[in-house]
Structure 1
Amino acid sequence: MNAVKRFGAATLLSLPLLAQATDIDKAAAIETQTVKAAAASQQRIDVSDEQAQSTKAEIEKLEREIENLTLYRNHLKSLVENQEQEQASLNQQLEEIALTRQGVVPLMYRMIDDLDVWVSQDLPIKSAQRQNRVDGLKTLMTRADVADAEKFRRILETYQIELDYGAKLGIYQETLPLDGVERDVDILHLGRLSLVARSLNGDAFWFYDQSTTKWLPVDKRAYEAIQQAFDVANKKQPPTLMALPLSISMVKGAAQ
Protein backbone atom coordinates (compact mmCIF):
# COMPACT_ATOMS: atom_id res chain seq x y z
CA MET A 1 0.00 0.00 0.00
CA ASN A 2 2.76 2.31 0.91
CA ALA A 3 4.54 1.39 -2.25
CA VAL A 4 1.51 2.25 -4.28
CA LYS A 5 1.26 5.56 -2.61
CA ARG A 6 4.93 6.31 -3.25
CA PHE A 7 4.54 5.42 -6.95
CA GLY A 8 1.49 7.58 -7.18
CA ALA A 9 3.23 10.42 -5.43
CA ALA A 10 6.20 10.05 -7.78
CA THR A 11 3.88 10.10 -10.74
CA LEU A 12 2.25 13.21 -9.52
CA LEU A 13 5.62 14.81 -8.99
CA SER A 14 6.80 13.90 -12.54
CA LEU A 15 3.84 15.51 -14.26
CA PRO A 16 5.10 19.07 -13.77
CA LEU A 17 8.52 17.97 -14.99
CA LEU A 18 7.00 16.48 -18.15
CA ALA A 19 5.00 19.60 -18.76
CA GLN A 20 8.10 21.70 -18.24
CA ALA A 21 10.04 19.48 -20.72
CA THR A 22 7.30 19.85 -23.28
CA ASP A 23 7.38 23.63 -22.93
CA ILE A 24 11.18 23.64 -23.36
CA ASP A 25 10.92 21.54 -26.49
CA LYS A 26 8.26 23.86 -27.82
CA ALA A 27 10.41 26.83 -26.99
CA ALA A 28 13.39 25.17 -28.62
CA ALA A 29 11.33 24.36 -31.67
CA ILE A 30 10.05 27.90 -31.78
CA GLU A 31 13.58 29.22 -31.41
CA THR A 32 14.79 26.93 -34.18
CA GLN A 33 11.99 28.07 -36.42
CA THR A 34 12.72 31.67 -35.49
CA VAL A 35 16.41 31.22 -36.34
CA LYS A 36 15.52 29.56 -39.60
CA ALA A 37 13.02 32.26 -40.38
CA ALA A 38 15.59 34.91 -39.48
CA ALA A 39 18.18 33.19 -41.70
CA ALA A 40 15.72 32.95 -44.54
CA SER A 41 14.74 36.55 -44.01
CA GLN A 42 18.41 37.58 -43.97
CA GLN A 43 19.00 35.60 -47.14
CA ARG A 44 16.07 37.32 -48.77
CA ILE A 45 17.46 40.64 -47.51
CA ASP A 46 20.89 39.77 -48.96
CA VAL A 47 19.35 38.74 -52.26
CA SER A 48 17.22 41.85 -52.27
CA ASP A 49 20.29 43.99 -51.48
CA GLU A 50 22.26 42.36 -54.30
CA GLN A 51 19.35 42.97 -56.64
CA ALA A 52 19.14 46.55 -55.42
CA GLN A 53 22.87 47.03 -55.95
CA SER A 54 22.61 45.40 -59.38
CA THR A 55 19.62 47.55 -60.24
CA LYS A 56 21.46 50.64 -59.00
CA ALA A 57 24.50 49.76 -61.12
CA GLU A 58 22.26 49.17 -64.12
CA ILE A 59 20.54 52.49 -63.56
CA GLU A 60 23.91 54.26 -63.30
CA LYS A 61 25.03 52.51 -66.49
CA LEU A 62 21.86 53.57 -68.27
CA GLU A 63 22.31 57.12 -67.00
CA ARG A 64 25.86 57.19 -68.41
CA GLU A 65 24.61 55.82 -71.70
CA ILE A 66 21.85 58.41 -71.77
CA GLU A 67 24.42 61.13 -71.05
CA ASN A 68 26.70 59.82 -73.81
CA LEU A 69 23.81 59.58 -76.24
CA THR A 70 22.76 63.11 -75.34
CA LEU A 71 26.28 64.39 -75.98
CA TYR A 72 26.47 62.47 -79.26
CA ARG A 73 23.06 63.77 -80.29
CA ASN A 74 24.20 67.33 -79.56
CA HIS A 75 27.39 66.64 -81.50
CA LEU A 76 25.42 65.38 -84.51
CA LYS A 77 23.12 68.35 -84.21
CA SER A 78 26.11 70.70 -84.32
CA LEU A 79 27.50 68.84 -87.34
CA VAL A 80 24.19 69.04 -89.15
CA GLU A 81 23.93 72.75 -88.41
CA ASN A 82 27.50 73.30 -89.61
CA GLN A 83 26.85 71.27 -92.76
CA GLU A 84 23.74 73.30 -93.42
CA GLN A 85 25.77 76.49 -93.03
CA GLU A 86 28.47 75.14 -95.37
CA GLN A 87 25.85 74.09 -97.88
CA ALA A 88 24.31 77.54 -97.78
CA SER A 89 27.78 79.06 -98.18
CA LEU A 90 28.60 76.73 -101.09
CA ASN A 91 25.30 77.54 -102.76
CA GLN A 92 26.06 81.23 -102.42
CA GLN A 93 29.58 80.69 -103.80
CA LEU A 94 28.18 78.71 -106.71
CA GLU A 95 25.81 81.55 -107.47
CA GLU A 96 28.68 84.03 -107.27
CA ILE A 97 30.85 81.78 -109.46
CA ALA A 98 28.05 81.56 -112.00
CA LEU A 99 27.78 85.34 -112.04
CA THR A 100 31.56 85.70 -112.19
CA ARG A 101 31.76 83.18 -114.99
CA GLN A 102 29.19 85.14 -116.95
CA GLY A 103 31.59 88.06 -116.79
CA VAL A 104 34.89 86.15 -117.10
CA VAL A 105 34.04 84.10 -120.18
CA PRO A 106 33.25 87.14 -122.37
CA LEU A 107 36.36 88.80 -120.96
CA MET A 108 38.50 85.84 -122.06
CA TYR A 109 37.07 86.00 -125.57
CA ARG A 110 37.83 89.72 -125.74
CA MET A 111 41.38 89.10 -124.52
CA ILE A 112 41.92 86.48 -127.22
CA ASP A 113 40.55 88.84 -129.87
CA ASP A 114 42.94 91.53 -128.64
CA LEU A 115 45.82 89.05 -128.86
CA ASP A 116 44.79 88.18 -132.39
CA VAL A 117 44.82 91.85 -133.41
CA TRP A 118 48.10 92.41 -131.57
CA VAL A 119 49.86 89.56 -133.39
CA SER A 120 48.50 90.56 -136.79
CA GLN A 121 49.54 94.21 -136.41
CA ASP A 122 52.80 93.68 -134.53
CA LEU A 123 56.26 93.16 -135.98
CA PRO A 124 56.37 89.65 -137.49
CA ILE A 125 58.47 88.20 -134.70
CA LYS A 126 57.86 84.43 -134.85
CA SER A 127 54.51 85.35 -136.35
CA ALA A 128 53.48 81.81 -137.34
CA GLN A 129 54.27 80.48 -133.86
CA ARG A 130 52.43 83.33 -132.19
CA GLN A 131 49.38 82.98 -134.44
CA ASN A 132 49.26 79.25 -133.74
CA ARG A 133 49.29 80.04 -130.04
CA VAL A 134 46.35 82.41 -130.41
CA ASP A 135 44.43 79.90 -132.57
CA GLY A 136 45.10 77.30 -129.89
CA LEU A 137 43.45 79.56 -127.32
CA LYS A 138 40.39 79.90 -129.53
CA THR A 139 40.13 76.12 -129.74
CA LEU A 140 40.74 75.82 -126.00
CA MET A 141 37.73 78.02 -125.25
CA THR A 142 35.40 75.51 -126.92
CA ARG A 143 36.61 72.55 -124.85
CA ALA A 144 34.25 71.47 -122.07
CA ASP A 145 36.90 69.28 -120.41
CA VAL A 146 39.10 72.27 -119.53
CA ALA A 147 38.18 74.42 -116.54
CA ASP A 148 37.69 78.14 -117.00
CA ALA A 149 40.51 78.76 -114.53
CA GLU A 150 42.93 76.81 -116.74
CA LYS A 151 41.72 78.66 -119.83
CA PHE A 152 42.26 82.00 -118.10
CA ARG A 153 45.73 80.89 -116.95
CA ARG A 154 46.71 79.95 -120.50
CA ILE A 155 45.49 83.31 -121.81
CA LEU A 156 47.53 85.17 -119.20
CA GLU A 157 50.52 82.97 -120.03
CA THR A 158 50.22 83.98 -123.69
CA TYR A 159 50.04 87.65 -122.71
CA GLN A 160 53.23 87.21 -120.69
CA ILE A 161 54.98 85.62 -123.68
CA GLU A 162 53.90 88.54 -125.86
CA LEU A 163 55.19 91.02 -123.29
CA ASP A 164 58.53 89.19 -123.18
CA TYR A 165 59.01 89.74 -126.92
CA GLY A 166 59.07 93.48 -126.25
CA ALA A 167 61.72 93.25 -123.51
CA LYS A 168 64.33 90.85 -124.84
CA LEU A 169 67.09 90.49 -127.39
CA GLY A 170 66.28 87.30 -129.26
CA ILE A 171 67.46 85.33 -132.27
CA TYR A 172 65.90 82.50 -134.28
CA GLN A 173 65.82 81.05 -137.79
CA GLU A 174 63.03 81.29 -140.33
CA THR A 175 62.35 81.16 -144.06
CA LEU A 176 61.35 84.52 -145.56
CA PRO A 177 60.61 85.85 -149.05
CA LEU A 178 63.47 88.33 -149.50
CA ASP A 179 64.27 90.10 -152.77
CA GLY A 180 61.82 87.79 -154.51
CA VAL A 181 63.54 84.65 -153.23
CA GLU A 182 62.67 82.28 -150.33
CA ARG A 183 65.66 82.44 -148.04
CA ASP A 184 66.62 80.71 -144.82
CA VAL A 185 67.83 83.48 -142.56
CA ASP A 186 68.77 84.28 -138.98
CA ILE A 187 66.41 86.83 -137.47
CA LEU A 188 67.28 89.12 -134.61
CA HIS A 189 64.84 91.27 -132.71
CA LEU A 190 65.56 93.87 -130.08
CA GLY A 191 62.28 94.03 -128.22
CA ARG A 192 59.75 95.49 -130.63
CA LEU A 193 62.12 98.22 -131.79
CA SER A 194 64.23 96.42 -134.35
CA LEU A 195 63.72 93.30 -136.47
CA VAL A 196 66.66 92.34 -138.68
CA ALA A 197 67.32 89.34 -140.94
CA ARG A 198 70.75 87.99 -141.91
CA SER A 199 71.57 85.49 -144.61
CA LEU A 200 73.03 82.27 -143.20
CA ASN A 201 76.45 83.08 -144.72
CA GLY A 202 76.30 86.61 -143.33
CA ASP A 203 76.74 88.40 -146.65
CA ALA A 204 73.40 90.27 -146.63
CA PHE A 205 71.06 91.94 -144.13
CA TRP A 206 67.47 93.16 -144.26
CA PHE A 207 65.30 95.00 -141.75
CA TYR A 208 61.53 94.96 -141.38
CA ASP A 209 59.82 98.26 -142.13
CA GLN A 210 56.56 98.44 -140.22
CA SER A 211 55.15 101.31 -142.31
CA THR A 212 55.33 99.29 -145.54
CA THR A 213 55.14 95.84 -143.89
CA LYS A 214 58.10 94.81 -146.06
CA TRP A 215 61.64 93.53 -145.59
CA LEU A 216 64.08 96.07 -146.95
CA PRO A 217 67.81 95.68 -147.55
CA VAL A 218 70.21 97.33 -145.12
CA ASP A 219 73.00 99.61 -146.31
CA LYS A 220 76.29 97.71 -146.35
CA ARG A 221 77.86 100.37 -144.15
CA ALA A 222 75.70 99.10 -141.26
CA TYR A 223 76.71 95.45 -141.69
CA GLU A 224 79.49 95.47 -139.13
CA ALA A 225 77.34 97.00 -136.39
CA ILE A 226 74.48 94.62 -137.09
CA GLN A 227 76.85 91.63 -137.10
CA GLN A 228 78.06 92.73 -133.69
CA ALA A 229 74.44 92.66 -132.47
CA PHE A 230 74.06 89.09 -133.78
CA ASP A 231 77.24 88.09 -131.93
CA VAL A 232 75.82 89.55 -128.71
CA ALA A 233 72.54 87.68 -129.24
CA ASN A 234 74.50 84.46 -129.86
CA LYS A 235 76.56 85.19 -126.72
CA LYS A 236 79.76 85.28 -128.74
CA GLN A 237 80.65 88.57 -127.12
CA PRO A 238 79.48 90.43 -124.02
CA PRO A 239 76.56 92.89 -124.16
CA THR A 240 77.53 96.22 -125.58
CA LEU A 241 76.00 99.27 -127.18
CA MET A 242 74.32 98.20 -130.43
CA ALA A 243 73.44 100.19 -133.51
CA LEU A 244 70.44 98.64 -135.23
CA PRO A 245 67.94 99.93 -137.79
CA LEU A 246 64.58 100.58 -136.14
CA SER A 247 61.56 98.90 -137.61
CA ILE A 248 59.44 102.03 -137.61
CA SER A 249 58.60 104.22 -140.59
CA MET A 250 60.33 107.36 -139.37
CA VAL A 251 63.77 105.79 -139.55
CA LYS A 252 63.29 104.06 -142.87
CA GLY A 253 65.42 106.53 -144.75
CA ALA A 254 68.05 106.79 -142.04
CA ALA A 255 68.58 103.08 -141.94
CA GLN A 256 69.30 102.73 -145.63
Structure 2
Amino acid sequence: MSESLFRAAILARSGWAVAGLLVTSFAFAQSTVTRAVNEQVAAEQAAQQTQGRINQLDDETRQAVAEYRATIQETASLRRYNAQLEQTLKSQLEEMQTIQKQVVEIETTAREIVPFMQKMLATLEEFVKLDMPFLPDERARRIADLKDMMARADVSIAEKFRRIVEAYQVEMEYGRTLETYQGKIGEKTVDVLRAGRVSLMYQTLDGAESGYWDVEKKQWVKDNGYGDAIKAGLKIARKQAAPDLLTVPVSAPKEAK
Protein backbone atom coordinates (compact mmCIF):
# COMPACT_ATOMS: atom_id res chain seq x y z
CA MET A 1 0.00 0.00 0.00
CA SER A 2 1.27 3.36 -0.93
CA GLU A 3 1.90 6.03 1.65
CA SER A 4 -0.96 8.14 0.26
CA LEU A 5 -3.50 5.40 0.49
CA PHE A 6 -2.33 4.64 4.04
CA ARG A 7 -2.79 8.24 5.08
CA ALA A 8 -6.20 8.32 3.47
CA ALA A 9 -7.19 5.18 5.35
CA ILE A 10 -5.95 6.64 8.59
CA LEU A 11 -7.83 9.86 7.91
CA ALA A 12 -10.99 7.92 7.10
CA ARG A 13 -10.73 5.94 10.27
CA SER A 14 -10.01 9.08 12.20
CA GLY A 15 -13.12 10.74 10.66
CA TRP A 16 -15.31 7.88 11.59
CA ALA A 17 -13.88 7.87 15.07
CA VAL A 18 -14.50 11.59 15.38
CA ALA A 19 -18.00 11.18 13.97
CA GLY A 20 -18.75 8.39 16.39
CA LEU A 21 -17.32 10.44 19.18
CA LEU A 22 -19.48 13.39 18.15
CA VAL A 23 -22.57 11.19 17.97
CA THR A 24 -21.82 9.72 21.36
CA SER A 25 -21.18 13.18 22.83
CA PHE A 26 -24.44 14.54 21.34
CA ALA A 27 -26.45 11.62 22.69
CA PHE A 28 -24.90 12.08 26.12
CA ALA A 29 -25.55 15.79 26.02
CA GLN A 30 -29.14 15.24 24.90
CA SER A 31 -29.68 12.75 27.71
CA THR A 32 -28.19 15.17 30.20
CA VAL A 33 -30.40 18.01 28.99
CA THR A 34 -33.49 15.80 29.10
CA ARG A 35 -32.67 14.70 32.59
CA ALA A 36 -32.04 18.27 33.63
CA VAL A 37 -35.34 19.38 32.08
CA ASN A 38 -37.19 16.58 33.78
CA GLU A 39 -35.56 17.45 37.08
CA GLN A 40 -36.51 21.11 36.60
CA VAL A 41 -40.09 20.18 35.78
CA ALA A 42 -40.24 17.90 38.79
CA ALA A 43 -38.78 20.63 40.95
CA GLU A 44 -41.33 23.14 39.66
CA GLN A 45 -44.17 20.69 40.26
CA ALA A 46 -42.87 20.03 43.75
CA ALA A 47 -42.61 23.77 44.30
CA GLN A 48 -46.18 24.20 43.08
CA GLN A 49 -47.38 21.44 45.38
CA THR A 50 -45.45 22.98 48.25
CA GLN A 51 -46.92 26.43 47.50
CA GLY A 52 -50.40 24.91 47.31
CA ARG A 53 -49.86 23.27 50.67
CA ILE A 54 -48.54 26.55 52.06
CA ASN A 55 -51.59 28.37 50.72
CA GLN A 56 -53.85 25.71 52.22
CA LEU A 57 -52.09 25.97 55.56
CA ASP A 58 -52.33 29.77 55.35
CA ASP A 59 -56.09 29.56 54.73
CA GLU A 60 -56.49 27.09 57.57
CA THR A 61 -54.44 29.36 59.81
CA ARG A 62 -56.59 32.38 58.92
CA GLN A 63 -59.74 30.37 59.58
CA ALA A 64 -58.34 29.12 62.87
CA VAL A 65 -57.40 32.67 63.88
CA ALA A 66 -60.87 33.94 62.92
CA GLU A 67 -62.52 31.12 64.89
CA TYR A 68 -60.24 31.87 67.84
CA ARG A 69 -61.13 35.56 67.79
CA ALA A 70 -64.83 34.72 67.49
CA THR A 71 -64.48 32.35 70.44
CA ILE A 72 -62.73 35.05 72.47
CA GLN A 73 -65.51 37.55 71.67
CA GLU A 74 -68.22 35.02 72.48
CA THR A 75 -66.47 34.17 75.75
CA ALA A 76 -66.27 37.85 76.69
CA SER A 77 -69.94 38.31 75.77
CA LEU A 78 -70.92 35.28 77.88
CA ARG A 79 -68.92 36.64 80.80
CA ARG A 80 -70.72 39.98 80.57
CA TYR A 81 -74.08 38.21 80.29
CA ASN A 82 -73.27 35.98 83.27
CA ALA A 83 -72.23 39.01 85.31
CA GLN A 84 -75.45 40.81 84.40
CA LEU A 85 -77.49 37.67 85.11
CA GLU A 86 -75.78 37.28 88.46
CA GLN A 87 -76.58 40.91 89.32
CA THR A 88 -80.21 40.39 88.26
CA LEU A 89 -80.50 37.24 90.38
CA LYS A 90 -78.98 39.06 93.32
CA SER A 91 -81.48 41.90 92.91
CA GLN A 92 -84.36 39.43 92.64
CA LEU A 93 -83.22 37.61 95.77
CA GLU A 94 -83.07 40.92 97.65
CA GLU A 95 -86.55 41.80 96.35
CA MET A 96 -87.86 38.39 97.42
CA GLN A 97 -86.44 38.92 100.89
CA THR A 98 -88.07 42.36 101.03
CA ILE A 99 -91.41 40.91 99.90
CA GLN A 100 -91.18 38.12 102.46
CA LYS A 101 -90.47 40.69 105.14
CA GLN A 102 -93.43 42.78 103.99
CA VAL A 103 -95.66 39.70 103.99
CA VAL A 104 -94.66 39.01 107.59
CA GLU A 105 -95.32 42.64 108.48
CA ILE A 106 -98.67 42.56 106.69
CA GLU A 107 -99.69 39.40 108.52
CA THR A 108 -98.68 41.01 111.80
CA THR A 109 -100.54 44.19 110.88
CA ALA A 110 -103.59 42.14 109.88
CA ARG A 111 -103.62 40.39 113.25
CA GLU A 112 -103.43 43.76 114.97
CA ILE A 113 -105.76 45.81 112.77
CA VAL A 114 -108.67 43.37 112.64
CA PRO A 115 -109.39 43.67 116.39
CA PHE A 116 -108.90 47.42 116.07
CA MET A 117 -111.49 47.62 113.26
CA GLN A 118 -113.91 45.51 115.27
CA LYS A 119 -113.48 47.91 118.16
CA MET A 120 -114.06 50.88 115.83
CA LEU A 121 -117.26 49.27 114.55
CA ALA A 122 -118.52 48.52 118.06
CA THR A 123 -117.79 52.12 119.09
CA LEU A 124 -119.64 53.44 116.05
CA GLU A 125 -122.64 51.23 116.78
CA GLU A 126 -122.76 52.40 120.40
CA PHE A 127 -122.43 56.02 119.31
CA VAL A 128 -125.41 55.68 116.93
CA LYS A 129 -127.50 54.14 119.69
CA LEU A 130 -126.76 57.02 122.06
CA ASP A 131 -127.13 59.72 119.41
CA MET A 132 -130.29 61.55 118.38
CA PRO A 133 -132.66 59.15 116.58
CA PHE A 134 -132.41 60.64 113.09
CA LEU A 135 -132.31 58.46 109.99
CA PRO A 136 -132.62 55.37 112.20
CA ASP A 137 -133.17 52.86 109.40
CA GLU A 138 -130.36 54.20 107.21
CA ARG A 139 -127.81 54.32 110.01
CA ALA A 140 -128.79 50.89 111.38
CA ARG A 141 -128.52 49.39 107.91
CA ARG A 142 -125.05 50.90 107.49
CA ILE A 143 -123.88 49.31 110.73
CA ALA A 144 -125.41 45.94 109.75
CA ASP A 145 -123.68 46.05 106.35
CA LEU A 146 -120.34 46.75 108.01
CA LYS A 147 -120.81 43.80 110.35
CA ASP A 148 -121.58 41.51 107.43
CA MET A 149 -118.55 42.84 105.56
CA MET A 150 -116.21 42.08 108.47
CA ALA A 151 -117.10 38.37 108.23
CA ARG A 152 -116.42 38.18 104.48
CA ALA A 153 -113.14 36.66 103.28
CA ASP A 154 -113.47 38.10 99.78
CA VAL A 155 -113.12 41.68 101.05
CA SER A 156 -109.57 42.87 101.72
CA ILE A 157 -108.55 44.33 105.04
CA ALA A 158 -107.79 47.63 103.32
CA GLU A 159 -111.32 47.77 101.88
CA LYS A 160 -112.86 46.92 105.26
CA PHE A 161 -110.87 49.67 106.95
CA ARG A 162 -111.82 52.14 104.20
CA ARG A 163 -115.53 51.38 104.60
CA ILE A 164 -115.42 51.80 108.38
CA VAL A 165 -113.56 55.11 108.09
CA GLU A 166 -116.09 56.20 105.47
CA ALA A 167 -118.94 55.45 107.92
CA TYR A 168 -117.19 57.62 110.54
CA GLN A 169 -116.89 60.41 107.99
CA VAL A 170 -120.61 60.19 107.21
CA GLU A 171 -121.45 60.46 110.91
CA MET A 172 -119.11 63.46 111.24
CA GLU A 173 -120.79 65.13 108.29
CA TYR A 174 -124.18 64.90 110.02
CA GLY A 175 -122.91 67.38 112.60
CA ARG A 176 -122.32 70.08 109.95
CA THR A 177 -125.47 69.90 107.81
CA LEU A 178 -129.11 70.92 107.82
CA GLU A 179 -131.33 68.10 106.61
CA THR A 180 -134.98 67.15 106.32
CA TYR A 181 -136.67 63.85 105.58
CA GLN A 182 -140.01 62.18 106.25
CA GLY A 183 -140.32 59.68 109.07
CA LYS A 184 -142.64 58.13 111.60
CA ILE A 185 -143.27 59.20 115.17
CA GLY A 186 -145.70 56.71 116.57
CA GLU A 187 -148.45 56.47 113.99
CA LYS A 188 -147.88 59.98 112.62
CA THR A 189 -145.96 60.68 109.42
CA VAL A 190 -143.91 63.82 109.99
CA ASP A 191 -141.24 66.00 108.43
CA VAL A 192 -138.09 65.71 110.49
CA LEU A 193 -135.64 68.62 110.59
CA ARG A 194 -132.09 68.03 111.78
CA ALA A 195 -129.85 71.00 112.53
CA GLY A 196 -126.46 69.33 112.79
CA ARG A 197 -126.40 67.50 116.08
CA VAL A 198 -127.64 70.60 117.90
CA SER A 199 -131.35 69.99 117.50
CA LEU A 200 -133.75 67.43 116.08
CA MET A 201 -137.32 68.66 115.40
CA TYR A 202 -140.49 67.46 113.73
CA GLN A 203 -143.68 68.83 112.25
CA THR A 204 -146.72 66.98 110.98
CA LEU A 205 -147.42 67.17 107.29
CA ASP A 206 -150.37 69.53 107.86
CA GLY A 207 -148.24 71.79 110.08
CA ALA A 208 -150.66 71.42 112.97
CA GLU A 209 -148.19 69.86 115.40
CA SER A 210 -144.54 70.54 116.05
CA GLY A 211 -142.03 69.29 118.57
CA TYR A 212 -138.43 68.22 119.21
CA TRP A 213 -136.28 65.44 120.60
CA ASP A 214 -135.49 65.88 124.28
CA VAL A 215 -131.97 64.60 124.79
CA GLU A 216 -132.32 64.29 128.57
CA LYS A 217 -135.68 62.54 128.48
CA LYS A 218 -134.76 60.47 125.40
CA GLN A 219 -138.19 61.11 123.88
CA TRP A 220 -140.10 63.33 121.51
CA VAL A 221 -141.71 66.38 123.11
CA LYS A 222 -144.60 68.28 121.57
CA ASP A 223 -144.03 72.05 121.47
CA ASN A 224 -145.92 74.12 118.92
CA GLY A 225 -143.99 77.19 120.05
CA TYR A 226 -141.29 76.22 117.54
CA GLY A 227 -143.76 75.69 114.68
CA ASP A 228 -142.79 78.77 112.66
CA ALA A 229 -139.06 78.21 113.18
CA ILE A 230 -139.38 74.57 112.11
CA LYS A 231 -141.42 75.55 109.05
CA ALA A 232 -138.75 78.08 108.06
CA GLY A 233 -136.02 75.50 108.67
CA LEU A 234 -137.78 72.97 106.45
CA LYS A 235 -137.84 75.48 103.58
CA ILE A 236 -134.12 76.22 104.01
CA ALA A 237 -133.26 72.51 104.10
CA ARG A 238 -135.27 71.94 100.90
CA LYS A 239 -133.47 74.83 99.17
CA GLN A 240 -136.77 76.71 98.99
CA ALA A 241 -135.47 79.67 101.02
CA ALA A 242 -132.14 81.35 101.61
CA PRO A 243 -130.13 80.37 104.69
CA ASP A 244 -131.16 82.35 107.76
CA LEU A 245 -130.92 82.26 111.53
CA LEU A 246 -133.29 79.83 113.23
CA THR A 247 -134.53 79.57 116.77
CA VAL A 248 -134.35 75.88 117.70
CA PRO A 249 -134.69 73.98 120.96
CA VAL A 250 -131.28 73.13 122.39
CA SER A 251 -130.58 70.99 125.42
CA ALA A 252 -128.67 72.70 128.20
CA PRO A 253 -125.00 71.69 128.25
CA LYS A 254 -123.97 69.24 130.95
CA GLU A 255 -120.89 69.49 133.08
CA ALA A 256 -118.28 67.02 131.98
CA LYS A 257 -117.64 64.21 134.44
TM-score, structure 1 normalization: 0.91
Contact 2:203 2:227 in 1 (8 A): no
* Amino acid of the structure 2 residue aligned with 1:187: V
SS at match of 2:213: strand
* Amino acid of the structure 1 residue aligned with 2:191: D
Which of 100, 109, 112 does residue 118 from structure 2 map onto?
A: 109
State the alpha-carbon separation in 2 of the partners of residues 147 and 110 from structure 1. 18
SS at match of 2:19: helix
Equivalent residue number for residue 208 of structure 2: 203
Equivalent residue number for residue 241 of structure 2: 237
Q: Which runs of 5+ in 1 are unaligned?
A: 252-256
How far does residue 155 in structure 1 lie from its aligned partner after superposition? 0.3
How far does residue 250 in structure 1 lie from its aligned partner after superposition? 6.4
Equivalent residue number for residue 143 of structure 1: 152
What pairs up with 1:1-256 in 2 under 5 angstroms? 1=9, 2-177=11-186, 182-219=187-224, 221-246=225-250, 248=251
State the alpha-carbon separation in 2 of the partners of residues 225 and 186 from structure 1. 13
1:50-106 per-position Cα deviation (integer Å, ceiling 9, x unaligned): 111111111111222212211111121111111110111111111111111121111
* Amino acid of the structure 2 residue aligned with 1:195: L
State the alpha-carbon separation in 1 of the partners of residues 74 and 185 from structure 2. 87
* Amino acid of the structure 2 residue aligned with 1:196: M
Contact 1:166 1:192 in 2 (8 A): yes
What do you get for the CA RMSD once the two structures are aligned? 1.6
State the alpha-carbon separation in 2 of the partners of residues 250 and 6 from structure 1. 173
Larger RCO (alpha carbons 8 Å, 6+ apart)? 1
Contact 1:189 1:195 in 2 (8 A): yes
Equivalent residue number for residue 5 of structure 2: none
Contact 1:196 1:208 in 2 (8 A): yes
* Amino acid of the structure 2 residue aligned with 1:231: K
How far does residue 16 in structure 1 lie from its aligned partner after superposition? 2.5
SS at match of 1:114: helix
* Amino acid of the structure 1 residue aligned with 2:111: Q
Contact 1:175 1:184 in 2 (8 A): yes
Report the more deviating stretch, 16-25 or 222-231: 16-25
State the alpha-carbon separation in 2 of the partners of residues 128 and 33 from structure 1. 122
How far does residue 10 in structure 1 lie from its aligned partner after superposition? 1.0
Contact 1:169 1:233 in 2 (8 A): yes
* Amino acid of the structure 2 residue aligned with 1:189: R
State the alpha-carbon separation in 1 of the partners of residues 226 and 199 from structure 2. 14
In the alignment of these two chains, the number of paired residues is: 245
How far does residue 249 in structure 1 lie from its aligned partner after superposition? 5.6
TM-score, structure 2 normalization: 0.91
State the alpha-carbon separation in 2 of the partners of residues 237 and 61 from structure 1. 90
How far does residue 8 in structure 1 lie from its aligned partner after superposition? 2.1
State the alpha-carbon separation in 2 of the partners of residues 132 and 16 from structure 1. 142
Contact 1:211 1:249 in 2 (8 A): no
SS at match of 1:113: helix
Give the ranges of 4+ consecutive aligned residues of structure 1 lying more than 4 Å apart after TM superposition: none
